[in-house]
Chain A
Amino acid sequence: MIHGYFGKLLEVNLSTGEIKDTPLPEDDLLNFIGGRGLGMKMLWDRLEKPGVDPLSPENPLMFLPGTFSGFPIPSSSRMCVVTKSPRTSPVRASYEHSSTISYSNIGGFFAPELRYAGYDGIIVTGRSDKPVCIKIVDDKVEILDARDYWGMGTDQFDKTIIRDLGDRQFETLYIGPAGERQVPMACILHTAARAAGRGGTGCVMGSKNLKAIAVKGSGMPEVAHHKDYLELLEKIRRSFMEKDEGVMSWRNGGTANALTSSSKNGTQAVMNYSRGSFGEIEKIGTAANRKKVWKRDFACFSCQLACKKSGFAKGSYAVMVHDGPEYETGTMLGANLGISDLAGLHKLIHVADDYGVDIISIGNTMGFLMEAHEKGLVDTRYLDGIDLRWGNVEAALQMMHKICRREGIGDIACHGVKHLSREIGQGSGDFAIHVKGHELAAWNVPVNNDWWAVTYATSNRGACHLNGGTPQAQDEQALEDSMAACSFASNWYEGEVAYHHFLSAITGADWDEERFRTAGTRIFTLEKMFNYREGFTRADDTIPEKFFQHAFQYGDHKGAIVERGDFKNNMDDYYRKRGWDPTTSRPSDAVLQELGLAFTLKG
């Protein structure tokens, strides 16, 4: 028998109100581990045919902690939200609703609490006819009326729901007004700042009329080899407690440290990816925030890195800061829009979080509109009178409101840059910075493009900076997302405290390095097969035209550009390493069989 799991999921059908336990097949846990991997397997099983509308009741929305969630293994209690993406589409759509898988990772305290309640995950299906919340107290599960909460921003909701539940031990996940209005780029929040940010999971949640989930539990999963586990835990805790330079750097600035270093290296998204460096980056970097804004550091469950920062920004944009800027939010709403007004940046982040919108996608979209405006492809009338120009905080705020409320231009822009560039035409598709319809994140492509171009082109959820630029890196990321380990902490898990040792001690299965790596490949490859079945082929595994056409005109890395030939060679090489057909990008039958994915060959 496999340990470390409860072997069951909570399944809630919001159309019928049915609440039940769904058993988890042991084979799926052995082959797909949990989190992202398990989510992919279940999505494959449940969506038997391609082309299902992601916003239909049929699309399951799954909240999946990993094998480690709930154990006090440092930085390892995250969760993946898995569903069919409302954001992506192929170049040539085979079905009206062809789209990729979407998986989105979130930290904090929800995943461990869900495990304490006795579940390895939650599957939400159907659609409620009125706004509801799901309340879980161990095995007592209720669907509650949420009409009074509909329309509430995430900050206010976060405070209100805890007050109404009357118990601070509840952990909550929720959408904001963007998710309620089914803004495609809406996300899911926790603690008013942490987010399952990417891939439109908040839109799917909104389509089900589900405002929030609250959970409180009293149990704990068991482990197979208790003493082995305790020994590993002791070692890894002590290694973090040495407080080496790495630990202290995370605590000091979190990913915001990369704002200045990435700008220096020419790898930052600046002014819709036209530049790799931002001249005013120091104004919004770690040092400026430490001095002017940040007051306290926050950690996720059992984490020693504490990369989340809170504080208060002063001035005309005075605002409570629940988090940020971290590298992504600081770049996408800062450097990418030419914005260096620190309080203004904090205000933008706060408003985006309050609506519950993916900051990467909305920052990318506003950068695209600024470039289209600068080039004269759209005028201020098209932009509903908003003077959307580089560095204009007020205009960015106005546009953000429009997008999150789906008003006027916002109702078009909320679909992201792929859709917008089709509306605007005039060659604007060349600088629409997305892959498969999902916007690129804050890492620019031309410098180190061997890594970044492959990373973005081959990500199974559409452009994703966390994907990894080699098969090995991608498979490792898939494993971390499945166990619930935080990639910021993975450097510490090496040698005798490598992840697979924890997995063996907890589950009782013999996880050696090879079996472990193969599981990562299996997960990534099944995702690929899901996308292939939806009609995504090699033509979709590409990067925006801009990177081939436009060389950096600014900074130390002036002239950086992606050569088409290099990109093609890197991609050919990638498919070869994967054992995938370079023409179609389809994994070969032999590879599928070897990975235990023969079931994808049926039908």
Chain B
Amino acid sequence: MQDIVYGSAGLIVLGSFGVRYAFDEETRTIRAISVNFDRCAGCRTCETACSAYNHPARVNGQRVKGLGNPSLSNIRVYHFNPDVDVPSTCAICPDAPCIAACPVPPDLNTGRKALYRDEKLLTIKNDPQRCLACGECAKACATQRGGVIVPNEETNRPERMCTLCDGNPQCVEYCPFDALAYIEMPADRDLSGLAPEDIARDLIEKYYNIHIEEDRL
């Protein structure tokens, strides 16, 4: 699995603690969930699939998928008028402004802040034991990227970072319209790291030739 994730050559090694991530310097690609906005029909199957996997149930002591409550999903589909649908999910940004914003000092053994990049799939995770619930990560995501990471309403700890479902992202697995893919893609690809509103304005102009001013959606 890791071979595929890391790609060929030129892996960047960040910092002094050996934290690597899936950003191939030579090809400038990352591996995350890619959205094909032309195909999404807005059915929200991805939300229920994400939620069912990441919020499992326990039946007779056995761990099984949950019922898929969409409000617990990491991926969200936003509807707009004029009609476009924008699935929005953590881009697992190579430069991760959320981690940069985390004020918790790196652990001397692991090099991890409270918000850190997991070694296995290079996803972004939060350590609730060390998290200060300051919300700086969510702020960084909202101001510098798409605003996917949000603080939990009760605990104020960050939520909705993509887990990649242990390597088999369920949103991709169940998308009926092949609008989602788990692939290597250019880090600077079109519409990456933008807020759903910005993406929607772009799509509305493209599909319906209707120009919408900022803040008017």
A interface, CB within 8 angstroms of B: 71-72, 109, 112, 116, 155, 158-159, 162-163, 168-169, 191-193, 217-223, 226-227, 229-230, 237, 240-241, 295-304, 306, 310-312, 320, 322
- Which chain A residue shows the least CB distance to B58? A226
Of all chain A residues, the one with the shortest Cβ separation from B80 is: A168
Cβ-closest chain B residue relative to A71: B67
Convert B36-63 into 0s and 1s, putting 1 for each residue whose CB lies closer than 8 angstroms to a CB of A. 0010011111001100100001010000
The number of chain B residues touching the other chain, given as a range, is: 35 or more
Q: Are A192 and B176 in contact (CB under 8 A)?
A: no
Contact of B43 among A217, A221, A302 (CB under 8 A): A302
Give A330 Cβ to nearest chain B Cβ, in Å. 18
Q: Does A298 lie within 8 Å of B71, measured CB to CB?
A: no
Nearest residue (CB) in B for A162 is: B81
CB distance from B202 to the nearest CB of A (A): 14
A354: min CB distance to chain B, Å: 12
In angstroms, Cα B48 to Cα A227, docked, is 16
**A237, A302, A303, A320: which contacts B208 (Cβ < 8 A)?**
A320
Closest 8 A-B residue pairs measured CB to CB? A299-B43, A72-B48, A304-B176, A220-B69, A310-B83, A299-B41, A306-B41, A218-B71
- Please, could you name 28 A-B residue pairs with CB atoms under 8 Å apart, sorted by A? A72-B45, A159-B81, A162-B81, A163-B217, A168-B80, A193-B83, A219-B69, A222-B67, A226-B57, A226-B64, A226-B67, A227-B59, A230-B64, A241-B176, A295-B208, A296-B38, A298-B83, A299-B42, A299-B176, A299-B177, A300-B43, A304-B45, A304-B176, A304-B177, A310-B207, A312-B208, A320-B208, A322-B83
Instruction: Please name 19 further chain A to chain B contacts, defined as beta carbons within 8 Å, in addition to the given A241-B176, A302-B48, sorted by A numbering.
Output: A159-B81, A159-B217, A169-B71, A193-B83, A217-B71, A218-B71, A221-B67, A222-B67, A295-B207, A296-B41, A296-B207, A299-B42, A299-B176, A303-B43, A310-B83, A310-B207, A311-B207, A312-B210, A320-B210
Q: How far is the CA of A219 from the CA of B55 in the complex (A)?
A: 13
Q: List the B residue with the shortest CB-CB distance to A73.
A: B48
A299 to B41, CA, bound (A): 5
Min Cβ gap B70→A in Å is 7
Q: Check B82 against A310 for contact (C-beta < 8 Å).
A: yes
Whether B112 sits at the interface, judged by CB under 8 Å, is no
B74 to chain A, nearest CB (A): 15
Instruction: Indicate whether B174 reaches chain A with its CB closer than 8 angstroms.
Output: yes
Instruction: Tell me if B209 and A116 are in contact (CB < 8 A).
Output: no
Contact A298 B42 (CB under 8 A): yes
Residues of B at the A interface (CB closer than 8 Å) are 38, 41-45, 48-49, 52, 57, 59, 64-65, 67-71, 78-85, 174, 176-177, 196, 207-210, 217
Do the beta carbons of B45 and A302 come within 8 Å of each other? yes
- A309's nearest neighbour on chain B, judged by CB, is B83
- The smallest beta-carbon distance between B85 and chain A, in angstroms, is 7
Q: Judging by beta carbons under 8 Å apart, are A226 and B68 in contact?
A: no
Tell me which of A158, A159, A191, A220 has the highest count of chain B C-beta atoms within 10 A of its own C-beta: A220
Inter-subunit contact B64/A168 (CB<8 Å): no
* Least Cβ–Cβ distance between A337 and chain B, in angstroms: 26
Give min CB distance, A155 to chain B, whole Å. 7
How far, in Å, is B207 (CB) from chain A's closest CB?
Answer: 4
Taken together as a complex, chains A and B put the C-alpha atoms of A583 and B26 apart, in Å, by 85
> Which chain B residues border A163 with CB–CB below 8 Å?
217
Other-chain contact of B44, A158, A192, A217, A302 (Cβ < 8 Å): A302
What is the CA–CA distance of A34 and B216 in the complex, to the nearest angstrom? 39
Please, how many angstroms separate the alpha-carbon atoms of A169 and B85 in the complex? 12
Contacts of A226 in B (CB 8 A): 57, 59, 64, 67
Contact yes or no, B69 A230, CB < 8 A? no
**Residues from chain A with Cβ under 8 Å of B176 in the complex:** 240-241, 299, 304
Query: Considering only CB atoms, which chain B residue lies closest to A227 in the complex?
Result: B59
B43 touches A304 (CB 8 A): yes
Q: How far is the CA of A193 from the CA of B42 in the complex (A)?
A: 15
- Are A109 and B177 in contact, CB atoms less than 8 angstroms apart? no
Tell me which residues across on chain B come within 8 A of A237, comparing CB atoms.
45, 174
Q: Which residues of A contact B217 (CB under 8 A)?
A: 159, 163
Decide if B44 touches A109 in the complex (CB within 8 Å): yes
- For B208, what are the chain A residues with a Cβ–Cβ distance below 8 Å? 295, 310-312, 320
In the assembled complex, how far is the CB of residue B76 from the closest CB belonging to chain A, in whole angstroms? Answer: 8
Closest partner residue, chain A, to B42 (CB atom): A298
Query: Looking across the interface, which residue of chain A has its beta carbon closest to that of B216?
Result: A163
Chain B residues, Cβ within 8 Å of A304: 43, 45, 176-177
Q: Are B43 and A306 in contact (CB under 8 A)?
A: yes
Give the residue among B65, B83, B208 with the most A Cβ atoms within 10 A.
Answer: B83
Q: CA separation between A230 and B58, bound complex, in Å?
A: 13
Q: A155-B81, A159-B81 are in contact. Are A116 and B42 (CB under 8 A)?
A: no
Complex contacts, A229 vs chain B, CB 8 Å: 67
Q: How far is the CB of A442 from chain B (nearest CB, A)?
A: 24
In contact, A298 and B210 (Cβ under 8 angstroms)? no
- Roughly how many angstroms separate A1 CA and B74 CA in the complex, as a whole number? 33
Residues of chain A with a CB closer than 8 A to B42's CB:
298-299
Shortest distance between the CB of A538 and any CB in chain B (Å): 44
- Report chain B residues within 8 Å CB of A241: 174, 176
- CB of B41 within 8 A of CB of A297, answer yes
Shortest beta-carbon distance from B214 to chain A in Å: 13
Task: Give CA–CA (A66, B41) in the complex, Å.
Answer: 23
A416 CB, min distance to chain B CBs, angstroms = 30
Cα-based distance from A155 to B45 in the complex (angstroms) = 26
